[in-house]
């Protein structure tokens, strides 16, 4: 419309301002009057042209504002957006599960390699077995009013040795706590990638989509005070760890001194160490009774050592070593397999606990949210960041 008005006005200017004026008309006006007439026509046409341009521009702006302010989303579209978020969370969770399974298998392989390399050779060594005998005897002698039995104290010593010789060296590379953090980060990253272009694909204002994300709970912890975080807060944080709710989600099941690894390895090693300690106690009862009596009568373990006593000979130990090593290897392998399984399958305390917590909250919310037609207006604060820059 603006183009045709412009063409028309230019034609008028050409017709009335620049065509040759008849001589008789020109002679009736003075030369100055004729100049004034032309100038008047030019000014008049210019005003008309300016008014047309301004008027069209004003109408265009008004219509644009009306379209922006009237942007709505239909019930069907709203359902599709919720479904997109649900699908994105499901995909992100599955990716995190795959990554965690591979990571746990790698951790278990490294633990077993270190066990074969250090702990098993140390445990079945002749002098280690002798040392464990004397340690058990010492625990029995100094029991006093301690309610912890000598077997339990020996089991604790074996767990400490396994931690120092196996778990800590492997932890320099990887451990279940690191795997859990990586799984949660992977879930957040994939989810963000999947939903960042929803505003573009559904032609909805970015600020309105942000407000929707703020209504979706990602973390809800029943602490005092409650620690909560929306999907928007989790996705837009430079580092989710700085969010108190996220930090508490990661640590809620573990004390500062313990981690996911300790929760599972400790319980499995308890069984293993107690069994080993029981067998050692039986062995001592059968072969080392005299040594224990001598230690008690002589005033302590130092007397036994200074007397050059050994609970059993190295020849006897060499005969029994293959069976001892095979039994230990079987017990440790079984404990490690069970630990690996629980690290993956335990939804409350395993390496995927944080992922399951966030995905369950998000998916439940969008699945059960009421599908109503909602006004999607620009944020009154003028916040209209590009969603890609936020993720």
pLDDT digits (tens, 9 = 90+) for 254-295: 543 355 666 556 666 677 667 766 777 676 666 544 444 444
Together in a domain, 131 and 249:
yes
What is the residue-level pLDDT of the chain in tens, covering all 391 positions? 444 444 454 554 555 454 444 444 444 444 454 455 455 455 455 545 544 444 443 323 333 333 334 456 677 777 888 999 999 999 999 999 999 999 999 999 999 999 999 999 999 999 998 888 888 888 888 877 778 888 888 888 888 999 999 999 999 999 999 999 999 999 999 999 999 999 999 988 888 899 889 999 999 998 888 899 999 999 998 888 778 899 899 886 554 335 566 655 666 667 766 776 677 767 666 654 444 444 433 344 443 444 444 556 788 888 989 998 998 898 889 889 988 999 999 999 899 999 999 999 999 999 876 544 344 333 434 344 444 444 4
Decide: pTM greater than 0.75.
Answer: no
Together in a domain, 332 and 200:
yes
Mean pLDDT of the chain: 74
Question: Helix, strand, or coil here: 304?
Answer: helix
User: How many C-beta atoms surround the C-beta of residue 217 within 10 A?
Assistant: 16
Together in a domain, 27 and 7:
yes
Under 8 Å CB-to-CB from 92, ≥6 apart: which residues? 186, 187, 188, 189, 190, 191, 194, 359
Question: Helix, strand, or coil here: 272?
Answer: helix
Compute φ and ψ for 379, nearest 5 degrees.
-60, 125
**Pairwise CA distance, residues 257 & 269, whole Å:** 18
Together in a domain, 302 and 212:
yes
Together in a domain, 86 and 188:
yes
**Pairwise CA distance, residues 67 & 250, whole Å:** 45
Q: Considering its fold, how many domains does the chain have in total?
A: 2
Is 234 exposed, middle or buried, given 0-12, 13-18 or 19+ CB atoms closer than 10 A? buried
Together in a domain, 184 and 107:
yes
Together in a domain, 177 and 148:
yes
Together in a domain, 25 and 117:
no
**Pairwise CA distance, residues 126 & 88, whole Å:** 58
Structural element, H or E, at residue 218 = strand 217-221
Q: CA-CA-CA-CA torsion for 27, 29, 30, 35, nearest 10 degrees? A: -110
| Residues 354/176, Cβ–Cβ less than 8 Å | no
Task: Answer with the one of 70, 94, 111 that is the final residue of a domain.
Answer: 70
Q: How far is CA 325 from CA 238, 287, 328, 329, in A?
A: 50, 20, 5, 6
As a whole number of Å, the CA-based R_g of the chain is 41
**Pairwise CA distance, residues 280 & 129, whole Å:** 8
Task: Answer with the one of 70, 87, 109 that is the final residue of a domain.
Answer: 70
Together in a domain, 109 and 23:
no
**What is the span of the domain harbouring residue 178?**
73-390
**Pairwise CA distance, residues 33 & 354, whole Å:** 89
pLDDT digits (tens, 9 = 90+) for 121-168: 999 999 998 888 888 888 888 877 778 888 888 888 888 999 999 999
Under 8 Å CB-to-CB from 160, ≥6 apart: which residues? none
Together in a domain, 186 and 64:
no
Task: Answer with the one of 22, 41, 70 that is the final residue of a domain.
Answer: 70
Number of H helices and E strands in the chain, helices first, is 19, 4
Together in a domain, 202 and 318:
yes
**Pairwise CA distance, residues 239 & 64, whole Å:** 38
Together in a domain, 266 and 373:
yes
């Amino acid at each position: 419309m603006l183009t045709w008005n412009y063409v028309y006005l230019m034609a008028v200017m050409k017709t009335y301002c620049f065509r040759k004026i008849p001589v008789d008309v020109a002679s009736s006006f003075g030369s100055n009057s004729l100049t004034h007439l032309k100038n008047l026509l030019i000014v008049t046409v210019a005003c008309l042209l300016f008014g047309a341009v301004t008027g069209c521009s004003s109408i265009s702006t008004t219509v644009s504002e009306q379209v922006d302010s009237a942007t709505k989303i239909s019930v069907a579209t709203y359902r599709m957006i919720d479904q997109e978020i649900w699908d994105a969370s499901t995909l992100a969770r599955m990716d995190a599960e795959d990554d965690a399974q591979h990571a746990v298998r790698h951790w278990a392989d490294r633990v077993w390699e270190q066990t074969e390399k250090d702990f098993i050779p140390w445990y079945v060594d002749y002098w280690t077995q002798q040392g464990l005998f004397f340690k058990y005897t010492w625990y029995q002698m100094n029991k006093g009013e301690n309610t912890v039995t000598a077997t339990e104290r020996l089991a604790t010593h074996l767990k400490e040795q396994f931690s120092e010789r196996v778990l800590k060296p492997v932890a320099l590379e990887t451990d279940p706590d690191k795997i859990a953090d990586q799984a949660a980060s992977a879930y957040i990253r994939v989810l963000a990638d999947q939903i960042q272009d929803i505003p573009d694909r559904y032609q909805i204002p970015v600020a309105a989509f942000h407000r929707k994300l703020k209504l979706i709970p990602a973390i809800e912890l029943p602490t005092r005070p409650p620690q909560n975080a929306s999907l928007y807060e989790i996705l837009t944080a430079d580092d989710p760890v700085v969010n108190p709710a996220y930090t508490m989600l990661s640590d809620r099941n573990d004390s500062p001194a313990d981690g996911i690894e300790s929760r599972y390895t400790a319980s499995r090693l308890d069984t293993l160490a107690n069994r080993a300690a029981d067998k050692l106690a039986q062995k001592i009862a059968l072969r080392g009774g005299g040594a224990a009596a001598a230690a008690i009568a002589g005033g302590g373990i130092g007397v036994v050592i200074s007397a050059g006593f050994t609970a059993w000979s190295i020849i006897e130990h060499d005969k029994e070593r293959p069976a001892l090593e095979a039994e230990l290897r079987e017990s440790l392998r079984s404990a490690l397999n069970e630990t690996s399984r629980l690290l993956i399958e335990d939804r409350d305390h395993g390496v995927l606990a944080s992922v399951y917590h966030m995905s369950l909250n998000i998916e439940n919310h969008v699945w059960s949210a009421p599908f109503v037609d909602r006004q999607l207006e620009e944020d009154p604060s003028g916040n209209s960041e590009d969603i890609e820059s936020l993720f």
